[in-house]
Each structure stands twice: as C-alpha cells, then as structure tokens.
C-alpha cells in the first residue's frame, strides 16, 4: 500500500485554555480531494492553521504525518518545503514587498531546503507567466505589493497561482470560495482543477456546498465540535446543503 | 523661559566654553556658560538631554591631509571630501557643478546650542553651485580622522532655477569618541528639483550632530532622506523653509537603532507663504535596549493659506527593551489649511510573518523582507539606481549587524 499523503491521528489542539480540536482522524491517499464541511466555529480553520504550524495553537495530543513524516516538530517554513501549502481564507496584505520578489523568495527558499539549485531568472519568469496566464494574473498585478489593494477575487487567484508555482503534494484550501462571485469562483476552481494530477492531494475546507460543484471531492467529511463526525461521498455535501448541520449537534457531545 | 540662576557646568560644557572662547566666539561661550547644554526642560531636546548624553567634548580635531577610507561608495557619483573640517582638493568638477571654498558658518542664527557652536567653530565652508540637470550624484563625504576630535564643518549649496540634482552626504570616520557638528544650508531656486540624502555611518563611539537648513523658492521640489545608522548618539535637526508658492518638500528620515544607541530626528518646517505643501514621513526601527526619537513641528505663517502638510512617524520595535518617542507639534496661524499628524508604533505583524513562513521562507529572511517592506516607502522614491542600491545595502548591513 502506498503511504497516504496526509494522515492525521487523534489530533487535539487548543488555543490558550480552550480546546478546539478534539480528536481529529483523517487519511487522504495520494491524488484524492477531500472536503471538510462544517459550520462556523466548528474548528475547520483551526485545523488548517494547525496543519500549517501557526504558533498560537498548541497540539496536546496526536500526530500529523505528511507523506509518512511527522511534521508536528517542524517550523512552518519546513512544512512548506516538505510539500504542504495552505491557501488562506484571508490572504495577508504585505505593503512594501513586491509580489514578484515574494514569489521568487518563496520558490527559491523551498528549492534550497530540498537541496535544489535556485531557479534562474528566465526560468522563474517563464514559470510565473505560465501560472499567471491560467489564473488571469497579469504582470501589472505582480508588480504591486503582495495582496495590497487586490480585490477579493484577485487575492484568491494569487493564492492559487502561488500553489501552482510551489507545487505542493498537499494543498489545504481554507474557505477559498469566501468573497468570490460566480465568475471568480469559476476561474479559481479551474485553476485548482488544473492542479489535480492524480498525485497531488487536496483538503478543501468550506461551509457551502457550491464550491464542491466546481471542485468535485472524492470524499466529504462533516466537522462538528472539533472532530470529524461523518464521512461520505460527494452526495453527503448535497444532503448537508438541504438539511443543515443540526443533525450533528447532538453527536458532538 | 530662560533660567536665571547659574547652572552647574559639566566637563563637556567646560571644554566647549574653552573652545568657543579660543575661537573668539564670546557670545556663544557666554550662552553655554549661562544655560549649559540643553536638558529635557528645553522642548526641542526633551527626549535628547544633551547634558546627560554628552559627557565629554574632545579637543578640536587636528587638520588631516587625507581620508583613510569612506563608508559608502556610490558608483558613478562625483565625490568631494571634507576631512576634519577641511575641504580637500576636489577633482575637476563635471559640467553644471562649481566647487568653491568660503569661510565661516552657514546656518541662520537661532536659539540652539548646536547651531551656535556650528556658526562659531566652522572655519572652511564647502560651497557648491549646481546648474542645469546635474546627472551625476554629488557626494560630500565627511570624515573625522585620527584621535577623538571635535569637528564643525559647513556646506552651502545653491541649486539654480529650473535645475535638478541629487546630493548625498555621508558621515563616517575613525573609531574614536568624536563629536561631529555638521551644517548644511541648501537653497533651491525656482522650480528646482532636488534630492538630498544624508547618512550617518560613524562608529558607535562617535556623537553625530547635523543641522540641515533648506530654503525653497517658488515651485521648488525637495526630497530629503536622513538615515541614522552609525553613531551611538545621533541627532539631525531639519529646518525646511517653504518660502515660495508651489514649493513642496517630502521630508523623510529613518532611525536604525541598535542596543545602546540613541537617535533623534527633529524637524521644524516653516510654511511661510500661501500654497505650499510638505509631507514629513519618518520611520524608526529599534532593537536591543535603544532609543529612537522623532519630533516634527509644522509652523504655518499667518498668511500661508492653503498650506497642506502632514507629519507622520511610524515605529517598528524589534525588541521589548527599546523605546520609540514621537512628538508632533502644530503651530498654525492661518485659517485655511490642511495640517495633520500621526504616529504609530508596533512590532512585526505576526500574521504577515506567518504568511511568509507558510510559503517556505525561513524566519530570518521573512523578517528581513518585512523590515524592508516597512521602509520601502522611504527608499523606493530615490530614483538613482546606484544610490538606491547603496541605501538598500545600508539597511541590509544593519539587519545583518550586531543586535
């Protein structure tokens, strides 16, 4: 059996004194797209931050294996180099740092961490141009400071473009549909689908079913009160959309 | 209010008085005798108490024949040097630049000890007349060489009507407890466009004082950038005077302060006539146990209507032990103006840092990117490529240097 890209075992995490993740178990095999659905405050976004290694959260129990390797002791930048990518719900605006400079720094830092040489400028420019074309990210946007003054749609397109350039083995998409109109949603989904290559795995976090019409998942998980309470195929998302999350409230306790 | 009882004079004041008397500057000597060095009770020195900070004034520096080095070389620049107060023979000046020497101080007399000492002790003055579109960066490289010495030097620059120039002043020297008192008077003719960058790269042992006075005629456009990145004690006092309609000044500065250092940029801008504008923007980055000060005063004369001016100071604290002090002052006598001030202070933004880390950028590199981003607003407008790169290099060196 091949090693799953992501394996989460009995993960507990808290912020300050409040426990938010209460025993998450999840296995994503190579090439699969899993969706996590749940209402606001159920801990979905916390899961994405804990995966990426945000300092504010303390993992009290459990393991996270990325391609068979425990990443809990790794710094966020080491996790990225190991193949993890988090597309933020709210991409951060960073004044004074040109998007192009940032992209180059990120790509080369990851290559360096993996013992690969830096990309030459022409190769880098070519890669950026290709990735940008797919997602309608033009050179004018790349000259601007990172995410500064970008519209909601531009920010999300820029996130997916980063993902295309960084080529992670696991992409975590946190509420990628929030703040997008239908047109932007289609562009972003197309970009994401183009990166489904049978090897790369994805974890799509959302609380609306509509995103899953565009990015069709292999497995849907329902998240409630800090853990996964039910899993099924894509039809589970449709049922949730019809009935809401109320059925799961009792189970959490 | 001036104190009427005699102050207790310290060693620094005693040597200063002796030096002033020897130079025949009786009045300046008398002033120091009566008032002493300014303490925190003098408003302009509120956060930079010279009586406490300046414990000794070394003897007046001996003449030196040459500079032993330079702190900053900018490719393509036309460089002149002033070593221990003496203007050294300059190479043939390119077109549009006339270099001369005169005697005496260059600053307008005011109730300020650094100004009066400068005017009393400055002997040889470098004078520059710039005309037309001066392509090369004009660098004035100030050096203090040898044993600890007290130096007062002075520069007077005239930029003719409709002319443009980029002027760089660098300050550095041997590793000794020097006291440098540097004065620059820069006059911009009608519609002149000037960038004036001053950078202190002295050693930690040095105390660096600079006073820059600017005079802007109608339509003149000035951009200034003061960078403190060297001396243990640094203070630059800026006096821009918006004297002609349509004049505009971007008055900017950067304190880069490490453990044990104290850096102060103090500005007093006069909007003397109607329809002038200024945009003072200062930033301070501190680490270790250090102190950064920015004071900004905007004075708008009675008939200087339609003045548009906003003072801003932004502080970035890289340690918990540092202090960043900010003092805006508005003195407005006209009634139809837009004037304001703002001040912010904080650490590196955790969310921004996490975002960069999550993309695989290691912490130190991510912090450097954020710090560079923080000051990009100051460095980016410097259009000369070689100079821009040199400034970026100074910031990078500071980031890599001793905490």
**Is B89's pLDDT higher than 80?**
no
- Which of A75, A85, A166 is facing B357, going by the closest CB pair? A75
Q: State residue A253's pLDDT score.
A: 42
Asked if B373 lies within 8 A of A52 by C-beta distance, the reply is no
Mean pLDDT calculated for residue range B65-73: 85
Mean pLDDT calculated for residue range B273-282: 98
Return the biggest CA–CA distance within chain A.
57
The 3-state DSSP class for residue B335 equals coil
The structure's pTM equals 0.89
Tokens linked to B43 = 């408003």
Burial of A23 (0-12, 13-18, 19+ CB in 10 A): middle
Asked if A94 lies within 8 A of B356 by C-beta distance, the reply is yes
Tokens linked to A76 = 């966020």
Mean pLDDT calculated for residue range B189-210: 98
Compute the distance between CA of residue B194 and CA of residue B384 in angstroms, rounded to an integer.
12
Mean pLDDT calculated for residue range B186-200: 98
- Picking from B358, B373, B378 by the largest number of A CB atoms within 10 A of its own CB, the best residue to mutate is B358
For A177-233, what is each residue's pLDDT tens digit? 888 888 889 989 999 999 999 999 999 999 888 899 999 999 999 999 999 999 999
For A155-181, what is each residue's pLDDT tens digit? 999 999 999 999 999 999 999 988 888
**Is B372's pLDDT higher than 50?**
yes
Work out the mean pLDDT of chain A and round it to a whole number. Answer: 92
Asked if A92 lies within 8 A of B375 by C-beta distance, the reply is no
Q: State residue A252's pLDDT score.
A: 47
**Is B1's pLDDT higher than 60?**
no
Query: Shortest Cα distance from A253 to chain B (angstroms)?
Result: 33
A191 contact partners, CB below 8 Å, separation of at least 6: A134, A135, A157, A160, A161, A164
For A57-113, what is each residue's pLDDT tens digit? 999 999 999 999 999 999 999 999 999 999 999 999 999 999 999 999 999 999 999
**Is A235's pLDDT higher than 50?**
yes
Query: How many Cβ atoms are within 10 Å of B187's Cβ, its own excluded?
Result: 19
Work out the mean pLDDT of chain B and round it to a whole number. Answer: 95
Q: How would residue A240 be classed by pLDDT, with cut points 50, 70 and 90?
A: confident
Query: Shortest Cα distance from A48 to chain B (angstroms)?
Result: 11
Q: Residue B91 has what DSSP assignment?
A: P
**Is A251's pLDDT higher than 60?**
no
- DSSP 3-state helix, strand, coil percentages of chain B (rounded to 5)? 20, 40, 40
**Is B400's pLDDT higher than 80?**
yes
Asked if B363 lies within 8 A of A77 by C-beta distance, the reply is yes
Q: Is B66 left (phi over 0), alpha (psi -120 to 50) or beta?
A: beta
For chain A, list residues whose CB is within 8 angstroms of any CB belonging to chain B. 52-55, 75-77, 79-81, 85-86, 88, 91-92, 94-97, 101-102, 105-106, 109-110, 113, 145, 162, 166
For B6-19, what is each residue's pLDDT tens digit? 688 999 999 999 99
Asked if B358 lies within 8 A of A94 by C-beta distance, the reply is no
The 3-state DSSP class for residue B158 equals strand
Q: State residue B65's pLDDT score.
A: 78
Asked if B354 lies within 8 A of A76 by C-beta distance, the reply is yes
Report percent pLDDT > 70 for chain B: 97
- Cα–Cα nearest to A131, from A141, A117, A145: A141
- Which of B355, B362, B376 is facing A96, going by the closest CB pair? B376
Mean pLDDT calculated for residue range B214-241: 98
Q: State residue A112's pLDDT score.
A: 94
Asked if B160 and B189 count as a contact pair (C-beta separation under 8 A), the reply is: yes
For B122-174, what is each residue's pLDDT tens digit? 989 999 999 999 999 999 999 999 999 999 999 999 999 999 999 999 999 99
Burial of B41 (0-12, 13-18, 19+ CB in 10 A): exposed
């Amino acid at each position: 059996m091949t090693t799953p890209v992501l394996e989460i075992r009995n993960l507990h995490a808290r912020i300050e004194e409040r426990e938010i993740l209460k025993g998450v178990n999840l296995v994503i095999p190579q090439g699969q797209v899993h969706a996590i659905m749940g209402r606001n405050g159920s801990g979905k976004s916390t899961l994405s931050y804990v995966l990426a290694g945000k300092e504010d959260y303390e993992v009290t129990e459990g393991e996270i294996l990325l391609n068979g390797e425990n990443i809990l002791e790794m710094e966020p930048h080491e996790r990225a180099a190991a193949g993890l990518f988090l597309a933020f719900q709210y991409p951060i605006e960073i004044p004074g740092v040109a998007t192009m400079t940032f992209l180059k720094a990120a790509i080369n830092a990851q290559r360096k961490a993996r013992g690969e040489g830096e990309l030459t400028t022409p190769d880098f420019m070519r890669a950026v141009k290709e990735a940008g074309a797919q997602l309608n990210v033009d050179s004018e946007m790349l000259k601007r400071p990172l995410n500064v003054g970008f519209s909601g749609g531009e920010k999300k397109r820029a996130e997916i473009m980063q993902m295309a350039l960084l080529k992670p083995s696991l992409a975590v998409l946190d509420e990628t549909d929030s703040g997008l109109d239908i047109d932007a949603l289609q562009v972003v989904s197309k970009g994401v689908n183009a990166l489904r290559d049978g090897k790369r795995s994805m974890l799509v976090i959302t609380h609306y079913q509509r995103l899953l019409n565009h990015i069709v998942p292999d497995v849907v998980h329902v998240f409630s009160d800090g853990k996964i309470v039910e899993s099924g195929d894509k039809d589970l998302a449709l049922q949730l959309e019809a009935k809401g999350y109320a059925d799961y409230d009792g189970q959490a306790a | 209010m001036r104190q009427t009882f005699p102050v207790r004079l310290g060693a620094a004041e005693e040597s200063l008085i002796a030096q002033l008397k020897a130079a025949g500057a009786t009045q300046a000597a008398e002033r120091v005798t009566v008032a002493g060095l300014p303490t925190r009770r003098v408003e302009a020195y509120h956060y930079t108490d010279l009586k406490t900070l300046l414990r000794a004034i070394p003897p007046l520096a001996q003449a030196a024949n040459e500079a032993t080095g330079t702190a900053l070389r900018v490719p393509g620049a036309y460089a002149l040097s002033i070593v221990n107060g003496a203007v050294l023979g300059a190479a043939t000046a390119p077109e549009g630049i006339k270099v001369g020497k005169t005697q005496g101080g260059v600053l307008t007399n005011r109730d300020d000890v650094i100004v009066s000492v400068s005017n009393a002790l400055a002997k040889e003055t470098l004078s520059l007349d710039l005309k037309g579109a001066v392509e090369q960066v004009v660098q004035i490289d100030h050096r203090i060489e040898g044993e600890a010495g007290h130096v007062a030097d002075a520069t007077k620059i005239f930029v003719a009507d409709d002319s443009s120039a980029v002027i760089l002043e660098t300050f550095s020297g041997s590793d000794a407890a020097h006291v440098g008192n540097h004065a620059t008077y820069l006059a911009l003719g009608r519609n002149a466009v000037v960038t004036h960058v001053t950078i202190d790269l002295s050693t930690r042992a040095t105390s660096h004082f600079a006073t820059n006075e600017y005079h802007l005629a109608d339509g003149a456009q000035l951009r200034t950038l003061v960078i403190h990145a060297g001396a243990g004690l640094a203070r630059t006092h800026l006096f821009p005077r918006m004297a002609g309609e349509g004049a505009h000044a971007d008055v900017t500065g950067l304190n880069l302060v490490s453990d044990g250092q104290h850096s102060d940029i103090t500005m007093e801008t006069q909007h003397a006539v109607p329809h002038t504008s200024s945009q003072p923007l200062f930033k301070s980055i501190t680490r270790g146990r250090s102190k950064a000060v920015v004071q900004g005063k905007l004075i708008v004369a009675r008939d200087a209507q339609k003045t548009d001016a906003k003072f801003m100071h932004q502080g970035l604290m890289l340690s918990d032990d540092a202090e960043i002090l900010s003092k805006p002052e508005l003195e407005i006598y006209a009634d139809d103006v837009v004037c304001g001030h703002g001040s912010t202070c904080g650490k590196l933004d955790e969310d921004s840092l996490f975002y960069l880390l999550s993309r695989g950028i290691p912490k130190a590199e991510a912090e450097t990117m954020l710090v560079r981003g923080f000051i990009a607003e100051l460095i980016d407008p410097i259009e000369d490529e070689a100079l821009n790169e040199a400034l970026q290099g100074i910031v990078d060196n500071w980031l890599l240097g001793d905490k």
